[in-house]
């Protein structure tokens, strides 16, 4: 299938990137010159771009490759991850965001610092975020993007990785450091439109929905057909699609998607991702008020219906079209097709694009894939650099200079990239990419979910309880993580060679997530009850039950470093703007802190603005309208889940 792209496709790709960069440059000139403008878009965003950005932040190149690959392997079951997110998005809008807005925070570590005080929880979460970035986001996205490129044109996988890294660096410089929401909005429009065209053309190519379902169960590779009925049942059964491929709810002992793990374990991981991850929550905090924040989660929820149709079903169609490649069962054949003995379902989406899409539209889909990857990588690089330098390195060297912090940030990104590239062979040999991402999340995220839930809904939770709950969860998760990946999972048909212990082989990663969550809750509750509670004067507007409180809140601790130094000014100091050299002004403009003639506000005016920004007041009719929409959205999700149960 690999070929040389038509010049028309290349022009479309170049035009797409140029358009996105121009949108980034245009929108980067808005909401500049303030911390709030930089991080939260001035808290002035409409619900449509915020909801689209929530969807775009979640759907990256890993989803295109992973969801389509899982659809090719196991049918529609993987769509439960998308349907589950609809309910968790409602939790975000109705339970979590009101607390975050009322507390007046910018980041999730900042919320925990206000809630518990101290620095060790903040440092721990920073380190864990770096681990999750390396083993899920960076390595998986690099692999999926490179896989797409190697399918489109003949090149080595690691050469494609290097090209993507170089383009990411150029894109970061050209597109600016702000305007993520507007570029996400533009990408969602084109992404959905392109994937919709691909879905329609794929169904037409096969003969419609009913024919797709029928032919999917008949999409056996030739090796399976030749050996069908032989005595070696464990070998030829591997090429046959599972009998429950059209079911969303599967048995408790299903090796891929057991229903207890989906109902409980997946919910735990989803709460961590949608309700406490900085990348997601930051977008809802950018909404202009509580109404727009809730409406954005509803809009994102409606968009989450799309992946089943735009990605999962096309992955199934790809298996029908390429049963010997996408659906290969013989490990030797799979190794020749995609350099993996575990299966080649991850190539389902790129193969389908190259087969079905005409010149021009093929280039558009490739551009969307690369843009989703690159925008994801640049945001992760920026976030990881900031987390390491500001939350970890500054604790090690309190008086580090600006130059030192800039160098450390870049070295941190370089180290993370190297580790991620080295980890790619593990990702490649895991099999289904989406299951790999969810497995790593289930090993590391449940402790964070437990602490956030207890922090927001149980006032008695204190810092020692939260810290030791996180520590016990980290050790337990890392032990399972290292233990599981110290073994090699044999390919289908070679189960007799499986030497993994029962606790690894028989305890699904989603079930393990439930166990880990329970352990962390117990540890946090017990230690909190055995230690001193937090005084009520520190609690107003930091829990769900006190979100409407008007009482004065005193912070538990003051960050002495920030108070004495004001924090590093990496993009140049303020000082006398007119007397600064041109390169200082250029650097400040790139960072969005160029000089503005802002009006001087009185303390009363500043306090009034702060109260407005932290207000979670809702008008009666808007509240009713949003509640009805949320119920209708969840009803649709329940119906779809039941229809394919």
pTM of the model: 0.84
Q: Rounded to an integer, what distance in angstroms lies between the CA atom of residue 373 and that of residue 381?
A: 12
User: Where are any strands of DSSP class E within 457-585?
Assistant: none
Residues contacting 307, CB < 8 A, separation 6+: 59, 63, 67, 79, 82
Residues contacting 391, CB < 8 A, separation 6+: 109, 122, 123, 126
Residues contacting 347, CB < 8 A, separation 6+: 69, 147, 151, 325, 326, 337, 338
613 CB neighbour count, 10 Å cutoff: 16
The residues that bridge with 45 in the sheet, in sequence order, are: 287
Do 31 and 44 contact (CB within 8 A), yes or no?
A: yes
Q: Maximum CA pair distance of the chain? A: 85
Instruction: State the distance between the two ends of the chain, measured CA to CA, in whole angstroms.
Output: 36
The residues that bridge with 287 in the sheet, in sequence order, are: 45
Do 456 and 543 contact (CB within 8 A), yes or no?
A: yes
Rounded to 5 degrees, what are φ and ψ at 643?
A: -60, -40
pLDDT for 260 equals 94
The H or E element that residue 525 is part of is: helix 509-530
Give the residue among 177, 195, 187 at the shortest CA–CA distance from 310.
195
Q: Rounded to an integer, what distance in angstroms lies between the CA atom of residue 197 and that of residue 215?
A: 21
pLDDT for 302 equals 96
Q: Rounded to an integer, what distance in angstroms lies between the CA atom of residue 18 and that of residue 21?
A: 5
Q: Rounded to an integer, what distance in angstroms lies between the CA atom of residue 636 and that of residue 634?
A: 5
Residues contacting 528, CB < 8 A, separation 6+: 454, 460, 461, 462, 464, 465, 466
Please, what CATH class does the domain formed by 7-242+249-489+501-547+610-643 belong to?
Answer: mainly alpha
Do 571 and 593 contact (CB within 8 A), yes or no?
A: yes
Ranges of residues in the chain whose predicted pLDDT is under 70: 1-5, 17, 20-21, 23-44, 152-158, 160-161, 164-184, 224-237, 371-372, 374-376, 378-380, 382-383, 386, 390, 402-403, 406, 428-432, 491-496, 557-615
């Amino acid at each position: 299938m690999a070929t040389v792209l038509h010049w028309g496709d290349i022009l479309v790709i170049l035009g797409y990137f140029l358009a996105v960069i121009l949108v980034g440059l245009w929108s980067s000139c808005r909401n500049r010159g303030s911390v709030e403008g930089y991080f939260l878009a001035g808290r002035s965003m409409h619900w449509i771009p915020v909801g689209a950005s929530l969807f775009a932040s979640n759907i990256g190149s890993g989803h295109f490759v992973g969801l389509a690959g899982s659809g090719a392997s196991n049918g529609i079951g993987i769509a439960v991850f998308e349907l589950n997110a609809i309910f968790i998005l409602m939790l975000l809008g109705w339970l979590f965001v009101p607390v975050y807005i009322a507390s007046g925070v910018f980041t999730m570590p900042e919320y925990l610092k206000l809630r518990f005080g101290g620095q060790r929880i903040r440092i721990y979460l920073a380190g864990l975020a770096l681990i999750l970035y390396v083993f899920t986001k960076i390595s998986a996205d690099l692999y999926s993007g490179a896989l797409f490129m190697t399918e489109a044109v003949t090149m080595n996988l690691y050469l494609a990785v290097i090209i993507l890294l170089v383009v990411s660096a150029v894109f970061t410089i050209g597109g600016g450091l702000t305007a993520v929401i507007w570029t996400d909005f533009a990408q969602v429009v084109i992404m959905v439109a392109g994937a919709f065209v691909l879905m329609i053309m794929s169904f037409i190519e096969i003969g419609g929905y009913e024919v797709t379902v029928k032919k999917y169960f008949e999409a056996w590779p030739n090796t399976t057909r030749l050996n069908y009925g032989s005595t070696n049942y464990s070998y030829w059964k591997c090429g046959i699609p599972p009998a429950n491929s059209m079911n969303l709810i599967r048995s408790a002992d299903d090796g891929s998607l057991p229903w207890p793990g989906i109902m409980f374990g997946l919910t735990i991981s989803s709460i961590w991702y949608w309700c406490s991850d900085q990348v997601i929550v930051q977008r809802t905090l950018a909404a202009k008020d509580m109404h727009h924040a809730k409406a954005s989660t509803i809009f994102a929820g409606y968009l989450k219906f799309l992946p089943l149709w735009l990605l999962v079903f096309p992955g199934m169609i790809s298996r029908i079209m390429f049963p010997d490649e996408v659906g290969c069962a013989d490990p030797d054949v799979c190794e020749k097709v995609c350099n993996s003995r575990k299966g080649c379902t991850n190539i389902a989406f790129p193969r389908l694009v190259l087969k079905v899409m005409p010149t021009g539209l093929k280039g558009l889909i490739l551009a969307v894939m690369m843009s989703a990857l690159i925008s994801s990588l640049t945001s992760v690089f920026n976030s990881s650099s900031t987390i390491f330098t500001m939350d970890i390195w500054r604790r090690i060297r309190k008086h580090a200079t600006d130059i030192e912090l800039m160098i450390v940030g870049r070295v941190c990104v370089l180290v993370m990239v190297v580790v991620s590239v080295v980890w790619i062979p593990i990702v490649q040999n895991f099999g289904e990419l989406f299951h790999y991402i969810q497995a790593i999340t289930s090993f590391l995220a449940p402790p964070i979910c437990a602490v956030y839930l207890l922090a927001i809904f149980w006032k008695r939770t204190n810092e020692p309880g939260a810290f030791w709950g996180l520590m016990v969860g980290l050790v337990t998760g890392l032990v399972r993580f290292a233990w599981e990946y110290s073994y090699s999972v044999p390919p289908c048909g070679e189960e007799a060679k499986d030497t993994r212990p029962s606790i690894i082989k028989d305890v699904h990663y989603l079930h393990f997530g439930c166990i880990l969550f329970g352990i962390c809750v117990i540890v946090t509750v017990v230690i909190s009850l055995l230690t001193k509670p937090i005084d009520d004067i520190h609690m107003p507007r930091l829990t769900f039950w006190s979100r409407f409180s008007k009482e004065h809140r005193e912070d538990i601790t003051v960050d002495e470093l920030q108070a004495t130094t004001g924090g590093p000014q990496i993009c140049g100091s303020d000082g006398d703007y007119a007397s600064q050299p041109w390169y200082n002004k250029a650097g400040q403009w790139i960072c969005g802190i160029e000089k503005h003639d802002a009006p001087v506000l009185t303390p009363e005016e500043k306090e009034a603005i702060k109260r407005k920004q932290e207000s979670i007041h809702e008008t009666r009719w808007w509240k009713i309208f949003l509640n009805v929409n949320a119920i209708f959205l969840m009803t649709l999700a329940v119906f779809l889940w039941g229809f394919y149960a």
